[in-house]
Amino acid sequence: MRNNAVYMNRELSWLKFNERVLNEAGNPGVPLAERLSFVAIYQSNLDEFYRVRVGALADQLGAPHAIRENKTNMTTEEQISAILNETRRLDKKKAVVYEQLMGELEPKGIRLINFNRLSAEEGKQLEKYFNREIAPFLSATIISKQQPFPFIKNQEIYAVAQIETGKGKKKVAVVPCSNNVFPRLIGIPTREGTFMLSEELILHFMPKIFRKYTVLEKSLVRVIRSADIDTESHDDEYLEYREIMEKLIRQRKRMNPVRLELSRSLSKKMVSRLCREIHVEKESVFVSGVPLDLSFVSLLQNYLRSKGNDTLFYRKRSPRMTAQIDAGRPVMPQIMAKDVLLSYPFESIKPFILLLKEAANDPAVVSIKITLYRLANRSQIIEALVEAAENGKEVVVLVELRARFDEESNIDYSRKLEEAGCRVIYGLKGYKVHSKICLISSKAESGISYISQIGTGNYNEKTSALYTDMSLMTANQEIGREVAAVFAALLCGEKVEESNLLLVAPKCLQNNVLRMIDEEINHVESGEPGYIGIKINSLTDKAIIDKLIEASQAGVKIELIVRGICCLIPGVEGYTDNITVISIVGRFLEHSRIYRFGTHDREKVYISSADFMTRNTIHRVEVAAPILDKDLRERIDRMFDTMMQDDEKGKCLTSCGVYTARNLQNPKLNSQEFFCDRAEEGKW
């Protein structure tokens, strides 16, 4: 029987996640300079949410029939309305948190001010600076028939004003403020550590820019544009896939606005004019009480570091070389002897990079195959693959060009790989390839020998030091053959239809997860205990959600660690009584995916690239790998159980749909810091 009380809307659940990020910005237990990062992350998260999710919802508004979300039954209009209302609430909270942060920074020697707090002499100095360093580089426009309203670029800041001629005629003026020529933060010469934002300086001097006019009202504006490009419906027989993607990226830069932010209130008439010119709905206009772009906080952090304010930052942590690998010996033989599991960012990605470099130079290695989704700048992964190709190895690289906002980088890397002699493919029509798999094939006496790597996160040296992820390196030959089958299918543009050890979406992941949940139900019905433990970023797949509800009703104990979206509400009597959901938002981005099925004596453990979202389970190529080594399985169990006890950063989702703090330990447990300590002590 359906009970809507057990479901939460996907979009509203995501906004709850972003509020947990914002809460860290206001958390006095977080070092002050790090709290600046959280408020900036909150804003960048919200920007992407509007670009991707609100953009997709906006596209549904023109549908001939009402489209309803499949869990809460909300229409598209209802979802957009709820999103806008919740965003306004969160914007007010963001303003409070931001002002609190700025107030706490003042005693530390940093001030961000406006003209109202300057002396007359300081005002004159800034005017001279404006005349010399900024004004010559501005391209101001007064809107007329000959000068149409300029295109407002995504996420860039503009100053707009209503101006009046001497004859009483009113016009609109626009000045772009985003410019690489002058700095975003302008220091006040007479006050060390005191700054003004360049866009505020431009806005203040609008009367100087338009000397012949009277400035009646003015504001800074910022537009967020949809990024919901359809990569599947564009099929040009005269263009290769990479060229199609380049064309779509250019198109995205001019897509419809979904949000307009103002730094000051404007008259209704002026707002209507801006909405008409920019093509945005009035309901999507927001007046912000804080700077429109908070990315400048990194500059404040750099200033604090330069002054030696180390206590305002997290204690420095560095990924450690795993104790599983002897750094003085080649990596490949060690993996052939025993499976290795790396836990980022507590352990370094270096052993995997060493593995690739060894393979590139090993005469026995005949091929390296890998799937790439997001990469670091100046990627060592790419360098190793290029070296392998130049050494005559067969190097097959699937570069997913549809990795949102990384498309241009991936296009550039695909060209570099091709130039080095790698074979580059672009995935599967209709399905993003999100799996993280690498296969090294070597000549052996028996014919061929495999080393496989399967991970939960990207092949990215930068994010491996910031995101929690897991990476399995194994010489299990059956796993190697199944990874080889995945690559064989991708090379032929096909999907894996069946597998034994691996779970491979879109055909062999969701169904196997459902089957293993059913197995736990059967154990409980046979009078035995049942257990399911899942750690993922998001839970939206309704088939899996409904099966988890069924398992809870049967009496299976279910523990879920879901960082972001969770459309399942636990603790609802008669439905989800046996389900616990926590979310960990801390210093590092929780990104690893772990699936646990069964009690300790019969447990199956997987690490995976897939969240439990329909986009992952049935619309992407994803791979989950079993952890067959008993020691590694127990290590993952200990990590999972520790995270479930995290009451410093772990918040519990209640039956009311609210995330609350917990008090389980004395002192409180921060699982991420605990794992850092364990890695430093070599006690994994």
Tell me how far CA of residue 555 lies from CA of 63, 240, 259, in angstroms: 42, 53, 46
Buried b (16+ CB within 10 A) or exposed e, 438-450: bbbbbeeeeeebb
Given the structure tokens 């069964």, which residue do they identify?
598
CA distance 466 to 469: 9
Q: Tally Cβ neighbours within 10 Å of residue 658.
A: 11
Query: Which of 204, 434, 523, 591 is flagged as catalytic?
Result: 434
Q: Which two tokens stand for residue 485?
A: 């089958």
Dist. CA 648–CA 669, nearest whole Å: 5
Collect contacts of 94-99 with beta carbons under 8 A, ≥24 apart: 94/22, 94/39, 94/42, 94/43, 94/290, 95/288, 95/289, 95/290, 96/26, 97/22, 97/25, 97/26, 97/39, 98/39, 98/289, 98/290, 98/294, 99/289, 99/290
d(CA 83, CA 4): 19
Helix (H) or strand (E) holding 193: none
Q: Count the alpha carbons within 13 Å of 647 in the hemisphere toward its beta carbon.
A: 9
Checking DSSP bridges between strand 214-225 and strand 157-164, what pairing results, if any?
antiparallel
Tokens of 445: 């006496």
Angle at alpha carbon of residue 72, lines to 71 and 78, rounded to 5°: 130
**Residues 616 and 434: beta-carbon distance below 8 Å:** yes
What count of residues does the chain have?
684
Phi, psi of 36 (to 5 degrees): -60, -40
Q: Give residue 73's region: left, alpha or beta (phi > 0; psi -120 to 50).
A: left
Reported in sequence order, the residue ranges of 317-391 that DSSP labels E, i.e. its strands, are 340-344, 365-372
- Residue 465 DSSP SS3: helix
* Structure tokens given for 246: 């380049």
Neighbours of 92 (CB within 10 A): 11
Q: Cα 289 to the chain's mean position, in Å?
A: 26
In Å, what is the CA distance from 4 to each residue of 328, 454, 559, 569? 58, 37, 21, 10
Report yes or no: 322 and 344 within 8 Å, Cβ to Cβ. no
The gap from C-alpha 489 to its chain's centroid, in whole angstroms, comes to: 29
Q: Which tokens sit at 234?
A: 């564009």
Tell me which residue of 248, 508, 245 sits closest to 400, measured CA to CA: 245
Instruction: Specify whether 523 is catalytic.
Output: no
Point out the residues that are catalytic. Answer: 434
